[in-house]
Amino acid sequence: MVGNRVYGLAAVLLGAVVLAWHDFSAVWQPVPDALPQRALFAYAAGAILVAAGIALVARRWERPAALAVAALSLVFAAGWVGRIAGQPAQFAMWLGLAEQMAVVLGGLAVVASSKPRAGPVAHTLRVAFGLCLLAFGTAHLLYVKETAEMVPAWLPLGQRFWALATGVADLAGGIALLAGPFALLAARLATAMFIGFGVLVWLPRLLAAPSEQMNWFGNAINLTIAAGAWVVADLIARAPPPAWWRRGR
């Protein structure tokens, strides 16, 4: 499926950025600075991401490759869990966890897509990704000022409008994924929105300041989340609706 290859490309980009900077992202990958041999671990993580991504693009060893990407993202998610334990009231910590879990869910969706009957797994991943979207939307609404500052000033209706609108869209998408009947449409639209973030927000920032680490990682992380939404959508499209859903139609 196309989504699997996009997921692979995203992994290659993220791994290449880690290798180029020979470090993790302080914003998205909370690896302790005091970790022994931190640079060595960064090189190893970057190499695994690139190798796994190439395998996914080439459609070779897709299951172990997707599991490798998901496992690394789960490690980063564990870092956010540690930060949440220390600052549970800071929603930014929950946002970081949701971003990494979206990538984990994408990897699991790639694995599930290789199975002939992936219905129960697909619905579990659908619900989990819906929770991620709820976290994204809540963050947009809680941090309207910060979100609005990232919106291009030339867009009509103003930066604040788009910060609020995308937050509401994330919340609506999350609710749709939890509810079920409009899950596929919601997942497709969420994918398109994340791609839009890349085109309108992250790519221009990278072109304007290519020497800044955050811009490279921002593009890579955004693409991995978009790819995660893409493969979850592909899996939903292949999975038959649950019995309760069919009865309600």
- Segment 202-208 mean pLDDT: 96
- The token duo for 76 is 């980063």
Q: State the pLDDT confidence band at 239, using cuts at 50, 70 and 90.
A: confident
- Segment 145-151 mean pLDDT: 95
- Compute how many other C-beta atoms are within 10 angstroms of the C-beta atom of residue 239: 21
Q: What pLDDT, on a 0 to 100 scale, did the predictor assign at position 74?
A: 97
Tell me if 223 sits within 8 A of 49, measured CB to CB.
Answer: no
pTM of the model: 0.93
For the stretch 74-92, pLDDT in tens is 999 999 999 999 999 999 9
User: Which of 27-31, 60-64, 205-209, 236-240 is least confident?
Assistant: 236-240
Tell me if 224 sits within 8 A of 106, measured CB to CB.
Answer: yes
